[in-house]
Amino acid sequence: MDSILTIILSVLVLAFVIWLYILPITMAGKRNRSGLIWFLIGLVGSPILAILLLLALGDALEQPTA
């Protein structure tokens, strides 16, 4: 029984960590920023750092189309 709880807890923690790495990608897309760049920032630094930086920077200016 104890091993089942350990497996369930491990799966939940893994799902949370994956969600932490996906969150900056979705946040960047909503703020007109590159999701790939922000994923890499989260990978090199931490996803929490990427989330905080995105919150501090806010929305990117729209690029004018020619």
User: Domain spans of the chain?
Assistant: 18-56
pLDDT tier for residue 25 given thresholds of 50, 70 and 90: very high
Determine the average pLDDT of the residues in 47-65.
Answer: 87
Q: Which two tokens stand for residue 64?
A: 């004018």
For residue 54, name the pLDDT band (cuts at 50, 70, 90): very high
Distances in whole angstroms, Cα of residue 9 to Cα of each of 3, 4, 27 = 10, 9, 27
